[in-house]
Amino acid sequence: MSKLKISLKIDADIRLISFTGIIDEDFEYQSLLENPGKVYKIDFNEIKMINSTGIREWIRFVEKLGPAVEFQYFNCPHIIIQQMNMVSGFLTKNAKVISFYAPYFCEENDEEEHILLQATDIKNFKAPVRTIEVDGHEVELDFDAIEDQYFKFLKR
């Protein structure tokens, strides 16, 4: 059974691609190179892991489409953001993160929340305020990461 499911939708010059599972050495991207578009909107929402050889295969895939192609990354989970921050070159020059999950913590009910943020929500590398409702009242969440580390991918 394949560890990665790929769904591709074509809308004129735009390619909408969503992945489910694990990106690793078995990442087969040949079919995504056929009939190339100008903008690739990638949905990472259901990605569980990308390992080191998966990152290399990803970079190869992006490079094969060429620098003129624009990549937009949506719904990037925590593990993808972590690796974009860690591995030099993972986030190529023609790619940008549009939306991503960020860890927040509710001290009221002692639970973590993964909040989907837009890259444009981040001003001066500070986490935006987010609230949730607990027992009928609004509670401000605590951003649960070190801002300088977590938003490093936005500093390019």
Partner 1 sequence: MEEFNGGFKVVFKSDYSFEEADLIFLDYAYLKSDDHKYKEALNFLPKLSLLTALVDHNGINDILRETKVEHLFGLSGANSFSDIRDFILTFFNQQLWTADTFCKSPQKVSEKLFMSSEGVMESIQELLAGHDFSECFEGVEDYLVQILNESIQNAIFNAPVDDLGSHMFKRMNKKTVIHMIPGKEPVAKVLSDSKKFVISIKDFYGSITRNDIYDYLPLGEIREKEGGAGVGMYLVFKFSHKFVINVVPRKFTEMIIVIDKDKRFKWYSSKEKSFHLFMPS
Nearer to partner 1 among residue 16 and residue 142 (C-beta): 142
31 binds partner 1 (CB under 8 A): no
Contacts 24+ apart (CB under 8 A), 99-104: 99/73, 99/74, 99/75, 100/73, 100/75, 100/76, 101/75, 101/76, 101/77, 102/78, 102/127, 102/143, 102/145, 102/150, 103/78, 103/143, 103/144, 103/145, 103/150, 104/130, 104/141, 104/142, 104/143, 104/144
Which of 10-18, 66-74, 80-88, 115-123 is the region at the interface with partner 1 (rule: CB under 8 A)? 80-88
- 90 touching partner 1, by CB under 8 A: yes
Indicate whether 52 belongs to the interface with partner 1 (CB under 8 A): yes
Binding of partner 1 at residue 6 (CB under 8 A)? no
Q: Considering only residues 32, 42, 75, 83, which one is a binding residue for partner 1 as defined by CB under 8 A? A: 83
Contacting residue, 30, 31, 35, 88, with partner 1 by CB under 8 A? 88
